Amino acid sequence: MGTPSNRPRFALILPAAGSGQRLGESIPKPYLSVAGRTILEHTLQPFVDTGALVHVVIPTEKNYIQTAKQCVASSFPALSFDVIQGGKERQYSIEKGLDAMKNAGIDAQWVAVHDAVRPFITVDEIQRCLDAAVQFGAAIVAVPAKDTIKMVDIDADHQTVAHRIEDTPPRAQCWQAQTPQIFDSSLLKQAYENARELSIVGTDDASLVEALDRDVYVVEGRRENFKITYPIDLTLTRWLLEGEEK
């Protein structure tokens, strides 16, 4: 991808507004300490290590704005950043992050979005995703599905113990989306404007870009780049990170 001096530069939105309820923790997931650092700091480190990150916006819970500021300022004193109050849903947090970059005068051509609780992303994965985004305008990290995927008929008005299978898509075509997801900033802004106008709610940023009938490309990642969601994920994270410290 070239040396840091001629590498495409990018800004990052790092949504960190998730709670610790499903983990059974009183502290939101990004601020749990593992191996001497918060999960947020572990996650941000590879992006800083690319040498191409120009700014990061962290949408988070109101009561943790100061905590996030302290984490970033102490671990990454040279990094340009903003911490803002996130939205009720992840999509609204990203939209507020885009607005915050505009208000701060950050004019990065490329914008990455990454979950604050995916601490095992690597510099290589970030760089390959950025390469693909520069070439095609939109790219995400993903992994091939291990299991056979079933499309089922879900009737919200009819509770049942089982759902009828409608289709079984070819497994080779099924990929599990991860982050980062990197886009031309103008394309991502257009996708969010379109979503707001049409009341579209997507499960990730790529789906909002797809709603514009624009192509998004997949870069193969690693299964280790998992999102910390359940207690077993936190247990594995501690084992991996604390094991690295020994």
pLDDT at 2 over 50: no
How many structural domains does the chain have? Answer: 1
- Look at residues 47, 52, 215, 213 and name the one whose alpha carbon lies nearest to residue 132: 215
Domain membership of residue 165 (yes or no) is: no
Domain CATH number, residue 41 = 3.90.550.10
User: What DSSP line would sit under the chain, residue for residue?
Assistant: ---TTTSPPEEEE--B---SGGGT-SS-GGG-EETTEEHHHHHHHHHHHTS-EEEEEEEE-GGGHHHHHHHHHHH-TT--EEEEE--SSHHHHHHHHHHHHHHTT---SEEEE--TT-TT--HHHHHHHHHHHHHHSEEEEEEE-SSPP-EEE--TTS--S--EEEE---GGG-EEEEEEEEEEHHHHHHHHHHHHHHT---SSHHHHHHTTT---EEEE--TTS----SHHHHHHHHHHHHHHH-
Q: Is 166 within the bounds of a domain? A: no
**Statement: residue 19 has pLDDT above 80:** no
Task: Give domain status of residue 227, yes or no.
Answer: yes
Residue 243's pLDDT band (cuts 50, 70, 90): confident
Give the pLDDT band of residue 23 (cuts 50, 70, 90): low
| 11 backbone dihedrals φ, ψ, rounded to 5° | -105, 160
Domain that holds residue 75: 10-142+178-245
Burial class of residue 45 in the structure, from the number of CB atoms within 10 Å of its CB (0-12 exposed, 13-18 middle, 19+ buried)? middle
Question: What's the CA gap between 147 and 163, in Å, rounded?
Answer: 18
Identify whether 171 is part of a domain.
no
Residue 187: pLDDT over 90? yes
Question: How far lies 78's CA from each of 13, 41, 55, 72, 93, in Å?
Answer: 17, 14, 10, 9, 24
| Residue 78 belongs to a domain | yes
Q: Per-residue pLDDT for 24 more than 80?
A: no
Residues 74-133 have pLDDT tens digits of: 999 999 999 999 998 999 999 999 999 999 999 999 999 999 999 999 999 999 999 999
Q: Is residue 46 part of a domain?
A: yes
pLDDT of residue 65: 97
